[in-house]
Structures are given as structure tokens and as C-alpha cells.
């Protein structure tokens, strides 16, 4: 295992700044930007209002009563299947890439907070530093795999991998944050002056990631679990989001579906 993965890169940075307080303040500002972005997104798109209105309509159209125990079971199953294991993805490649990015990011963010807020910062457990680097590496693996091979508009519509649209802000900022963080840590451990460049890039990519919540798909991950739970509850009570019952007949696609590999989403 490379030696740099066992080092907390924030220790040297806090020594350079004279205190760990600026680092802690930076993380707090990023958290406030995230909360503010999500709140603005809720106010603008009215997602929460939509969920409540949809739940009210579903209750009026329900054909059977779903008890508290059954509801709890549906919620637990949905969280375990759709959220924790990304079971809504049909293809295993997209599912694995999403899980790598999701859990890598969670590990990276949690350990970042521990490494900065645990005092004294110089006594950060080695395992925490190793998990920080592991989380960043997992995020890079999942996000780059998605970016180069699995994006819908690239794999299915024939666009180039370097085609960037505004909706790509979240995934690009996310993977660049992890990439610059790893590069900064490695170069700092090697004593290279280039580490200051990647430190600046690491900070800027974090600002774009958390400061761009309102314009990116960041807030989407907060709505997705609620939408999945509501969908399964609607199926259980018979309202089905006003959709018709599934046809009791075999699926007929014709021979056309066999002409190419199934890569359209």
C-alpha cells in the first residue's frame, strides 16, 4: 500500500494556515451551501409539494387499505433495494458504477469531516486516512466508468465522450473533487511544489460541487428515495399513480429488438 494513503493531508495544510479553524469553517460553508441549494431547489421546483399532492391523490384512488406494518415493510424493502443497493438499475454495469460512486463519495465526505474536526488533527487514526483515499478512489472509478462508457447520450445516441452539457455539472464536479484530492495528497507526501496547484483545484472543485447544488442534479439524490417509496406504496394500494394495470399477456416486441445489443435506456 502506498505510504501517502496513511497520511492526513489536512495536517500540513492546517500547519501552513496556522490553525485548523479555516478548514473547519470551509467545510461548514460547504454544508450551508448544500442546504441552501436544496432549499432553493425545493422552493423553485416544488418537489415536496408535488409528493404530498400526489400522495393525497393516490389515497383517493386507492383500491385497498395498506396497514402500518405493510407500509413499514415496503419502506424498508425500498430503502434496501432501491437506495442502498441501487436495484432500480437494470444493467449490472450501471449498478456497480453507481454504487462505487455513491459509497465512495459517502466515505470520502464522512472521513473528510473526521479528519478536519477531530482534534488534535495530527492524531487522526491511520484507518480514517486510508478510508479517505479509498473513498476518493472508489468515486473516481465509478464516475469515470460512467462518464466514458455508460452515459446514456454517449452509449445510446452516439455523442462523443467529451460532450458536456449543464446537467453534467454534478458528476464532473464530483469526480474532479476526488481526483484533485488524491493528486494533492500524493504530491504533498512527495514534497512536490505542484501540490499547491492541486490544492487550489481541490478547493475550487468543492466550491463548484457544493455551491452549484441549485443548478446540478445534487438535490435529486434527496428526492429519489421519497419518489421510490411513494411509487411502491401506490402499487400496493392499487392507485398505481393513475397508470393502468399491467397487461395479462406476453410481451410482444417483434424481431426488431434482436437486431442490436440492448443499450438504450
Q: For the chain, what are the domain ranges?
A: 3-234
Report the residue count for the chain.
265
**Quick one: pLDDT at residue 24?**
95
**Quick one: pLDDT at residue 41?**
83
Q: Is 60 exposed, middle or buried (0-12, 13-18, 19+ CB in 10 A)?
A: exposed
C-alpha cell at 78: 425500498
Give the tens place of pLDDT for each residue, 102-160: 999 999 999 999 999 988 888 899 999 999 999 999 999 999 998 888 776 565 666 67
**Quick one: pLDDT at residue 157?**
65
Task: Please work out, in degrees rounded to the nearest 5, the angle formed at the alpha carbon of residue 103 by the alpha carbons of 101 and 109.
Answer: 95
- Rounded mean pLDDT, 221-236: 80
Quote the pTM value.
0.84
**Quick one: pLDDT at residue 197?**
97
Report yes or no: 97 and 151 within 8 Å, Cβ to Cβ: no
Amino acid at each position: 500500500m502506498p505510504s501517502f494513503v496513511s497520511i492526513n493531508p489536512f495536517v500540513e495544510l492546517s500547519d501552513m494556515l496556522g490553525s485548523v479553524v479555516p478548514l473547519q469553517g470551509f467545510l461548514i460553508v460547504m454544508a450551508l451551501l448544500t442546504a441552501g441549494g436544496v432549499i432553493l431547489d425545493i422552493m423553485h421546483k416544488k418537489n415536496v409539494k408535488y409528493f404530498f399532492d400526489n400522495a393525497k391523490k393516490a389515497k383517493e384512488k386507492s383500491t385497498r387499505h395498506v396497514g402500518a406494518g405493510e407500509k413499514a415493510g415496503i419502506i424498508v424493502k425500498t430503502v434496501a433495494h432501491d437506495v442502498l443497493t441501487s436495484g432500480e438499475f437494470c444493467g449490472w454495469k450501471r449498478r456497480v458504477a453507481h454504487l462505487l460512486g455513491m459509497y465512495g463519495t459517502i466515505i470520502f465526505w464522512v472521513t473528510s469531516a473526521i479528519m478536519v474536526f477531530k482534534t488534535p488533527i495530527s492524531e487522526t487514526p491511520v484507518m480514517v486516512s486510508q478510508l479517505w483515499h479509498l473513498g476518493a478512489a472508489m468515486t473516481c472509478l465509478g464516475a469515470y466508468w460512467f462518464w466514458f462508457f455508460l452515459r446514456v447520450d454517449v452509449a445510446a445516441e452516439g455523442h462523443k465522450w467529451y460532450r458536456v452539457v449543464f446537467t453534467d455539472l454534478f458528476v464532473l464536479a464530483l469526480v474532479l473533487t476526488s481526483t484533485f484530492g488524491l493528486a494533492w495528497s500524493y504530491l504533498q507526501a512527495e514534497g512536490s511544489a505542484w501540490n499547491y496547484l492541486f490544492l487550489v483545484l481541490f478547493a475550487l472543485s468543492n466550491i463548484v460541487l457544493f455551491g452549484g447544488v441549485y443548478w446540478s442534479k445534487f438535490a435529486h439524490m434527496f428526492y429519489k428515495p421519497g419518489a421510490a417509496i411513494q411509487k411502491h406504496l401506490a402499487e400496493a394500494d392499487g392507485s398505481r399513480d393513475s397508470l393502468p394495470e399491467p397487461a395479462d399477456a406476453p410481451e410482444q416486441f417483434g424481431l426488431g429488438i434482436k437486431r442490436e445489443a440492448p443499450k438504450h435506456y
